[in-house]
Structure 1
Amino acid sequence: MAKPPATPPTATPPMLRRVNAGKLLGVLIRTGVMTGTGLIEATGMTRATVHAVCNDLISMGWVIEHDPGRDDVSVGRPSRRFEFNSRAGFVLGIDLGAAKTTVLLTDLRGATIAKAGRSVADVTPAQRTELVHETVVEALASAGVTDGEVLAAGVGVAAPVDRDGSILVDDEFWRRFDAGLANRLTELHGWPVLLENDANLAALGEHWRGVGREVDDLVVLLAGERFGSGLMDSGRLLHGSRGGAGEMVFLKLVEGVGDTHGIARIARERGAEAVADPAVETTLRKLADDDPVTAELVFTAAADGDEVALGILQDVAGRTARVVATLGILFNPELVVLGGAVAEAATALLPDLERQLAGFTSTPPRVAVSSLGDAIVSVGAVRHALNYVEQRALDLHLSCRPE
């Protein structure tokens, strides 16, 4: 005998109050100062409900009330005016790169309050965790913010991370990234730590604050030392079943690419090979001045018209075009953004890249370079933390700060 369908829970007054609070807070988070009338129009609630819910949110610390305003033509009681309290707490965005960790401290609208960074090159996982902790302490201290005022921290790591925030550890290479960083930071500071793949965070950051705003079918290609991609479809991040969506190991199978080496690495290695060959005439030799050749020097030499450097960048553009074309064919994004520390210099590659891209696919995506520079991952980490806070706002305890 079939069981009767479960009876849905009865909508109790506390439940309705909570639903209304979440709806109203969501409106205020995305707007500025609003009157009670404006909130009524935006939410469909009655005036009494809007005022009651706003009173609740004010007492919780999420909303502040401004002095009443009076329109010159209005008659009667001045309108109450409400605003989301962006200083109700703070979040951290942490980019744990291969050579450097960067920490952004922001308010709840994502405005940067403090920034700190440290080198983490050539250290053990335990040392890296300690350096991240020290960088966090520096950022908090410079702004006079306590651990109790931090609501969450987003952390970007160069490893696959699943939807639950766990690093893929089945592969020996990725296992080295699982150093217990999240648990350790929570033990030291008390706030939740949200791990995410660095390229995924780059996509979040670009969609929020970069050239990818209002583009919901988006690929962000981190193209520095190695290629990594963050994929967004209809405004949602793609993780795959175990966090591996967007991993670029498949490039080993792509003709004309053959590995995951990024723009900076290829430019640097090709430039070093040219300088090491005494038969090659190039201004790179003089620019390097016995120091190691860098990707930046190759781009500089090309901008000055050096034929060898121009040839290197033409090859890099062709190789990158194959990478972009492959992503375009597989995921059909509207836009591919080149991001990371190499982004600004990569502008010089766009003409050659776009010309060659058209030869690889009949539906090439638009290509742009990120305006966020080397902050792209930490900005995305901030957005990741803010998403967590906004989704759980009514369950969080605030150490409120008046604006």
Structure 2
Amino acid sequence: MADAAPRLLELAEHALSTPFPLRLRAWDGSEAGPSGAPVLVVRGRRALRRLMWRPGELGLARAWVAGDLDVDGDLYEALDLLSGLFWERGADGSGAGRAETLRDLAAMLRDPATYRLLRSGLALAGPGLPPPPPHEEARRRTGIAHTRRRDKAAVAHHYDVGNDFYELVLGPSMVYSCALWPEPGTTLEQAQYAKLDLVCRKLGLREGRRLLDVGCGWGSMVLHAAEHYGVQATGITLSVEQAAYARKRIADAGLADRIEIRVQDYRDVRDGPYDAISSIGMAEHVGSDRYLEYARTLHALLKPGGRLLNHQIGRRPVRDEQAYRIDEFIDRYVFPDGELAPIGATVSRLEEAGFEVRDVEALREHYARTLRAWVGNLEDRWDDAAAVTTEGRARVWRLYMAASAVSFERNRIGVNQVLAVRAEAGGGSGMPATRSAWLS
């Protein structure tokens, strides 16, 4: 009889101590669970072996990337429903909650009913060693996090997957950060233009000023600033592929005399002072232990009165910051060694480094819409995206971007632009006293 799905549903609901919100479809064609809900498709026994050998987020992630699990129906709805099961674990940062039951195998074995279900799960999974992780997973890291060498390797894992892939996902703007959507009919390209222009205006850029763009990506910010505001711009990145792409764009635009792209760590920049620094979507790679060093380094690179625009994803604060656990899927497959901090911690570190924080603007809803646009691009060009990288890598990106969109929509993470200034002699900022004045 085809009965794998009902047995899987019973296992899931017992382990999670709550009704499972998705419908299950197993490899034998059986289905179980609420009708009308998105369907979690379990393609084979290997998915169960992954979960048996590595219960929790990482086992689920490996099964998804390998194609052992899939969703039939609205992916965003499915992720939203599933996040309700696992969000309690991260809500206070302690690692406690329903999902922890999956890891407490000793307690499971002491309960007769759970022991019976576990044996049923083992029978369903079938014999075999733990399946190897999909090769898209980051290599095992050793040593101290956020050294120059380890940061370069982490950036290479995420960004050196092929510029052709990023072109398909990001579109012609090649901007990999939250866009600004001023009105409903705005296109992705228009929204990214609006964001770059907002950054330029916040920084007070004008003809002849020097701009440093930290984590310059494919050169979009420096190109916009040089073309529309007449600055002399330097962009730095740790990605060799990004740098090559950016240099070609700059040469094609005839702006090579006004823009320089370097493969360089921010800690090694020595040619200050700059009038302005933009850091857009880069600070998430710095790490909490290095953040004060990052802030002090940028402060030292600015002239008095110089401005910093720090555009950074942030998480909600938790009761016990020491117990906060980085998401395993993100750490293994997306941003190795990436860390999110609450906005309050970011502002405090910038101020501790000597900056005066002048403005904080939240763009949370804008990032959700940006991510949905990127997912749409990926889904529309799925075969091409898989061809220029791998099917597994495309699956990583689809899951990570869709799940991130849900997290922004549900206010579990946010993104903020912090405008800060290095004080002039006497402590002044040199800035107008109102936002409307310095945005004009």
- With normalisation by structure 2, the TM-score equals 0.24
| Bigger-Rg structure (1/2) | 1
- With normalisation by structure 1, the TM-score equals 0.26
Which of the two has greater helix per residue?
2
